[in-house]
Amino acid sequence: MKRALFLLAACGGGGHHTTDAPPYDAPADTLPTSADAAQGGITLRVLSGGDPVPNVATIFLDAQDKQVAAVTTDQTGTAAATLTAGGTVTAIVHEGTGLDHLTTFTGVQPGDVLLLELQPAGPAAAMVVNLTFPTNGSQAYTLFPSCGDQIGSTDGTFQFRPLGCGGTADFVVGAGAGGTISSFLVAMGVNVGSDAVVAGTFAPPITPAYNYTAIPSTLSALSNRAAILGHNGEMYAQSSSVTLATNQTTATLHETIPTTMTPALVTTNLWPQPNELGQQLVVDAVADASADYNLDVTQAMLPRYITAPAYDVVTRSIGWGEAPATAQSNVVRAQIHVNRDDVPAGRSWTWTIAAPKNAASVTFPALPAVDGFSFIPIATDTVVVSDLTTALFPGGFDALRTSPFRDLVPALTSGHAVIETLAPPQL
């Protein structure tokens, strides 16, 4: 039930599959190719599936929106310029289908290496290795790895392809019969560079409690997901949900997980009532997966969206209304979709921005015309706010500044985060 929480065309964080990228090129052929930035300059790297994307128009503006450089990425997918603190960097990607995509990094700092991934990179190819685990008389065994793919076995031996493992992986092995897992084995730090016999002992599962209090009436349901973490990714995960009765203010969920004191990522989706505009996700990186979990929902929630976001052509900003709340977001990401009817042909584009959140608004830079075309929306354009995400993230925007468009859930490695997005339409 976890929603994708990123704005670009990419698979969810932690996935093992990619899709073919569309042909990208720059809409502004007259811009020069980027040169290397001086020491302390700003560098942007544009990748698709791990491969560099050249010819992407890139505009560097200082904190007063004065243009410092306008270049295209080179054959390594890199554009660079010397820029003082607080400026913006905007990449303009042309898909080859008449649709442009603008992405703006804000608040950049000297020395930043910014990353724009149009499509996620797939894991490196790997040879199959045979891993033999202990057995306990069960009829079926399932291997849940921290990298690579989940696979099954009837005898505890698995033909495992260690995709993205970097030579070492962590494993949960579930044993049981009839589709039910009755015991688990946990093995950490296994060398997967060659065939291996892995030691370990099966133990019955545990069912820690996930306790929710102070649930507000603006919610219709809760869903919980507890994911056991290895050093290079998620291993085993279980989820459950509850539909809330009228005036229900407390709820307890249980997840059946391995007996282990390894870290876990606990995510709670707060499903809104049909009339609500936003949906929130609470994420906690916990040190001990076996411990009970407690959350005061009202205290954790960010300010709810109470007025739909709208773009203002005069201020070049998106604004929205928020309800009062104890927790406050420190990151905002937003996207507009713009259509301009024109003669002899119209033009459409998206514009995505990430910024520190200081108010219920976010302002786009005064981008100069590129190759004779202004991407700043005007009164006769049709502008739709296609995405709005606010988040409370450890370290604030600076923790995400150089790669702010990634999936925020796997980006959390410690502490507590809350993410609010526009609620999906009610069917």
For the segment 187-191, the average pLDDT, to the nearest whole number, is 95
Sign for the CA dihedral angle at 148, 150, 152, 157 comes to positive
Tell me: pLDDT of 85 over 90: yes
Q: Is the peptide bond before 344 cis (omega within 30 degrees of 0)?
A: yes
Note whether residue 275 is domain-resident.
yes
- Are residues 229 and 178 part of one domain? no
Q: b/e string for 228-248 if b means 16 or more Cβ within 10 A?
A: bbbebbbbbbbeeebebeeee
Tell me: pLDDT of 404 over 90: yes
Note whether residue 225 is domain-resident.
yes
Residue 41 CB partners (closer than 8 Å, separation 6+):
80, 81, 82, 83, 110, 111
Model confidence pLDDT, tens digit, residues 276-299 = 999 999 999 999 999 999 999 999
- For residue 383, the one-letter residue type is V
For residues 334 and 34, the answer to whether their CB atoms sit within 8 Å is: no
Tell me: pLDDT of 22 over 70: no
Residue 363 is predicted with a pLDDT of 98
- Are residues 288 and 223 part of one domain? yes
Note whether residue 86 is domain-resident.
no
Model confidence pLDDT, tens digit, residues 319-373 = 999 999 999 999 999 999 999 997 677 899 999 999 999 999 999 999 999 989 9
- Are residues 135 and 178 part of one domain? yes
Note whether residue 242 is domain-resident.
yes
Tell me: pLDDT of 21 over 50: no
Tell me: pLDDT of 2 over 60: no
Whether this prediction's pTM lies above 0.75 is answered by yes
Model confidence pLDDT, tens digit, residues 236-278 = 999 999 999 999 999 999 999 998 878 999 999 999 999 999 9
- Are residues 293 and 233 part of one domain? yes
Tell me: pLDDT of 14 over 60: no
- Are residues 178 and 230 part of one domain? no
For residues 24 and 93, the answer to whether their CB atoms sit within 8 Å is: yes
Which of 56-60, 101-105, 124-128 has the weakest average pLDDT?
A: 124-128
Domain boundary (258, 276, 300) is at 300
Domain boundary (197, 232, 248) is at 197
Note whether residue 268 is domain-resident.
yes
Tell me: pLDDT of 9 over 70: no
The pLDDT-based confidence of 309 (bands split at 50, 70, 90) is very high
- Are residues 236 and 285 part of one domain? yes
Residue 64 CB partners (closer than 8 Å, separation 6+):
none
Domain that includes residue 286, residue range? 209-300
- Residue 367 structure tokens: 């981008």
Note whether residue 371 is domain-resident.
no
Which of 18-22, 144-148, 276-280 has the weakest average pLDDT?
A: 18-22
Tell me: pLDDT of 28 over 70: no
Tally of domains in the chain: 2
Note whether residue 270 is domain-resident.
yes
Tell me: pLDDT of 4 over 60: no
CATH number, domain of 240, equals: 2.60.40
The percent of residues above 90 in pLDDT, for the chain, comes to: 80
More confident residue, 23 or 141: 141
Residue 8 is predicted with a pLDDT of 39
Model confidence pLDDT, tens digit, residues 387-402 = 999 999 999 999 999 9
More confident residue, 306 or 28: 306
Which of 38-42, 49-53, 266-270, 297-301 has the weakest average pLDDT?
A: 38-42
Note whether residue 29 is domain-resident.
no
Domain boundary (241, 276, 300) is at 300
